[in-house]
Chain A
Amino acid sequence: MKILQLDGTLNACQIEQLGAANADLFQEEMQAAMSPELKAIEVDFSDTSFLDSHGLGALLMVHKTACNRHGEVPLRLLNPQPSVQQILELTRMHRIFEIVKRPVVHETT
């Protein structure tokens, strides 16, 4: 898992799964990485093959913390795989998080 902030956007990528094993860690690291100039959060789900209720809870907590600290902050989920997108749609999380399909540019450093 890699977390970095670019121009007010907090990016998380290289997440193979978001479940019981790492959801708390993901939440803690994302919350710790939120800077005062945070404008948006983007979580790249293109490598994520597994998402469960722990992962959904962590995403909700990250979004809630960001909104409490910085006002309305959109949380975008980039390029989810079909199985993950199905969970997001069936749980109606697509009404909370923006699901975006677009190429993701990772910082190489």
Chain B
Amino acid sequence: MPLVLVPMLGKNLVDYWMEHLAARGFSEATILAADRPEKVRQHVGAGERWGVKTEVLPVTHEINETDARALVANGTGAQCVVLMEYLPQLPAQKLFDSYNSWFSALSGLMQEMNSDTRIGVHEIKPGIWTSLHDAISPEARLVAPCWIGRDVTIEEGAVVGPFAIIEDGVCVEKEAEVAHSVVLSDTLVGEFTEISNSVAWGDMLTHIPDGISARVPDEFLLSPLNEEPLRTPRTTFIGRVAAAALLVAIAPFAILAMIRSMLNGRAYLRVKTAVKPCLSHSDKAGATMTYCEVPSRYGWIRRWPQLWEAVCGRFALVGNRPLSPEDAAELKHDYEKLWLSVPTGVISLADAAVGVERFDEKARAHACFYAIRADEQMDASILYAVVIGRPLNAIRSTVKDVMPVPVRYAELDGQS
């Protein structure tokens, strides 16, 4: 999630700024977003919610005020350029210098909260704010100041506050304690868990004073309540069956290649290491796996053992090709890192497009394109291109080379 969309007392930074602009009578706004502009656009739409015509423009990097003015104003009469690095209510408090500054800004915002301006928010006791559809046990203890968002459950014996911010959809179970901390949306704080001076989101816990983060492996302590996988592995039944069919079809050639390799005194299989793709929030970045190749110059024979991995579900039949840790370390740009956001596959879009396994700019472009557009239809067309289309084209061009050039009757008539 881009930083500007992270919840801050039930709203995000874009919401606060759009409300601020609308209240001051602005009719148009342009948001320059470097981080996932499509998500920011999806959130603001065209600005109808605030009555401010809004456009989101992507930029290559986070820019300063002067560059923003040059880019947007550029003689078009823009009245005001602001960097969204603070809340409009607290202009002196920077948000993103550190977790400390962010937490200080949230605490300041909480203390300036006014129920008259927030629909569905109630100050049930001085400094204790609750929202709609909360289920707070009468035996839970709320200590001011604290903020409790929508659809929050707080069970008996739990202690929330002081300086606790519980965002929407959180569940604080029995006897758990949250103080001087933020629990972000849809997080389960398990029984007897104590969160202090930290930000909790899903299974991630970040210590506010020093910014150190750790993943909590025990789901009963801290876990996401609505975790969506980053990418669903598409090891479908049909994919496995197709992999099995290819495994059988290529087996004689692969076995021959292995025997030849053994006769030449070499290993019949090469064991390789690849970086595991990150398909869910629990996948550790940089973790590795091993797979095998048959020593051969033909791609299908070389990849034959990987078909077995596809049958077993460790690989997808169609995906991005495995990357060695050295190659993966070269993925610096955001678009390149998309390579590892989809399942590792036996065949890839680059195979269908160029027919050769490579790791250049074009291969990275194919990999990132596959990462954003992959679906069953695309997988089927890649499979068709690699298994049928390319071999057919190769046969056609061979036949064309071998067959004599047809002689035109008109030419024969002319000769006669």
* A contacts, CB < 8 Å to B: 20, 52-54, 56-58, 60-61, 64, 85-99, 101
Partner of A96, one of B37, B60, B370, B372: B60
Please tell me if B359 contacts chain A, counting CB pairs below 8 Å: no
Q: Which of B185-193, B276-284, B361-369 contacts A (4 or more CB under 8 A)?
A: B361-369
The answer to whether A61 touches B362, judged by C-beta atoms less than 8 angstroms apart, is: yes
A89 touches B361 (CB 8 A): no
Q: Is the CB of B58 within 8 A of A99?
A: yes
Question: Which residue from A20, A52, A60, A88 sits with its C-beta under 8 Å from B58?
Answer: A88
Complex CA distance for A99 and B370, rounded to whole angstroms: 22
A101–B368 Cα distance when bound, in Å, is 24
Q: Find the B residue at minimum CB distance from A80.
A: B58
Q: Which of A52, A86, A91 has its CB near the most chain B CB atoms (within 10 A)?
A: A91
Instruction: Name A90's closest neighbour in chain B (CB-CB).
Output: B372
When distances are taken between beta carbons in the complex, the residues of chain B under 8 Å from A98 are 59-60
B-side interface residues, number (CB < 8 Å): 26
Give 27 A-B contacts (CB < 8 Å), ordered by A residue. A52-B369, A53-B349, A53-B365, A53-B366, A53-B368, A53-B369, A54-B365, A56-B369, A57-B361, A57-B363, A57-B365, A60-B364, A64-B361, A87-B369, A87-B372, A89-B37, A89-B58, A90-B372, A91-B335, A91-B338, A91-B369, A92-B368, A93-B368, A95-B60, A96-B60, A96-B335, A99-B58
Whether the Cβ atoms of A61 and B361 lie closer than 8 Å is yes
Contact B361 A93 (CB under 8 A): no
Query: A58 vs B364: C-alpha distance in the bound complex, in angstroms?
Result: 11
Within 8 A of A (CB), among B52-78: 57-61
A56 touches B368 (CB 8 A): yes
A85: chain B residues within 8 A (beta carbon): 58
Q: Closest residue to A98 on the B side, CB-wise? A: B60
- Chain B residues near A (Cβ < 8 Å): 34, 36-38, 57-61, 333-335, 338, 349, 353, 361-366, 368-372
> Which residue in B37, B60, B334, B365 is a CB contact (below 8 Å) of A56?
B365
Q: What's the nearest-Cβ distance from chain A to residue B373, in Å?
A: 8
Q: For the complex, what is the distance from the CA of A62 to the CA of B370, rounded to whole Å? A: 21
**Given A60-B361, A99-B57, A92:B369 Cβ within 8 A:** no
Q: Known interface pairs A53-B365, A60-B362, A60-B364. Does A89 touch B38 (Cβ–Cβ under 8 Å)?
A: yes
Residues of A within 8 A of B34 (CB): 94-95
Find out whether the CB atom of A94 lies under 8 angstroms from the CB atom of B362: no
Partner of A54, one of B58, B333, B353, B364: B353
Tell me if A57 and B362 are in contact (CB < 8 A).
Answer: yes
Q: Which 3 A-B pairs have the closest CB atoms?
A: A53-B369, A57-B362, A94-B58
Contacts of B353 in A (CB 8 A): 20, 53-54
Does A53 lie within 8 Å of B370, measured CB to CB? Answer: yes
Give the distance to chain A from B34, nearest Cβ to Cβ, in Å.
Answer: 7
Say yes or no: A91 contacts B372, CB within 8 Å. yes
Chain A residues with CB below 8 A from B61, complex form: 95
Q: CB-CB < 8 A to B365: which residues of A?
A: 53-54, 56-57, 60, 91
Q: How far is the CA of A93 from the CA of B37 in the complex (A)?
A: 11
Q: A53-B366, A60-B361, A98-B60 are in contact. Are A92 and B38 (CB under 8 A)?
A: no
